[in-house]
Amino acid sequence: MSYSDVVATIALFVSVLGTFASGYISYHFAIKGERRKEFNFIADKITLSLDHQQESADRGHYPTKTLSESDLHALLLVSNKRDASKIRNAFTNYITSLERCGNWDSGTYDFHSPQEIIKSAEELKRWTRHK
C-alpha cells in the first residue's frame, strides 16, 4: 500500500465519522431547541396568568382565574429535574397565599392582603423566565 492509498483510506474514515458526528450534534441541538420552545410556551401562559393576578391584586380584587395543579404539572414536565422541588415549593407558597389573603365574612369575601399574592406570584414567576 502506497502513501496515497493510506491517506485516501484515512480520509474516507474521517469523512464517514464526520457525517455521523455532525448528524448526532445537530440532532442534539435540535432536541435542546424543541425543549426550550416547549418550556417557553408553557411558561408564557403561566407568566401571563400571574401578571393578571398581580394586576387584579394591585387593584384590590381577588384574582378570578388562578393557577391549577395541571398548570404546575405542565411546568414540571418541561422544567429541569433539579428545579422541580423549588418550583413545587413556590407553587405551594402561591396556593397558601391565595388561601390566607382573605376570608369569608357574612357571605362576602374580605380581601385584606393583596401583597401576599403579589409576592408569591413574583416568586413563582422566577421559575417561568424564558430560556
Identify the weakest region by mean pLDDT among 32-46, 76-90, 94-108: 94-108
pLDDT of residue 1 exceeding 80, the answer is no
Has this prediction a pTM greater than 0.95?
A: no
Predicted pLDDT of residue 54? 95
45-to-6, 66, 85 alpha-carbon distances in Å: 59, 12, 21
Q: Give me the amino acid identity at 39.
A: F
Residue 94 lies in a domain: yes
Residue 21 lies in a domain: no
Domain that residue 50 falls in:
36-128
Residue 106 lies in a domain: yes
Residue 4 lies in a domain: no
Residue 101 lies in a domain: yes
Residue 91 lies in a domain: yes
Q: Give me the amino acid identity at 78.
A: V
Residue 117 lies in a domain: yes
Question: Which distant-in-sequence residues (6+ apart) come within 8 Å of 17 by Cβ?
Answer: none
**How many domains is the chain built from?**
1
pLDDT tens-digit map of 12-60? 999 999 999 999 999 999 999 999 999 999 999 999 999 999 999 999 8
Residue 28 lies in a domain: no
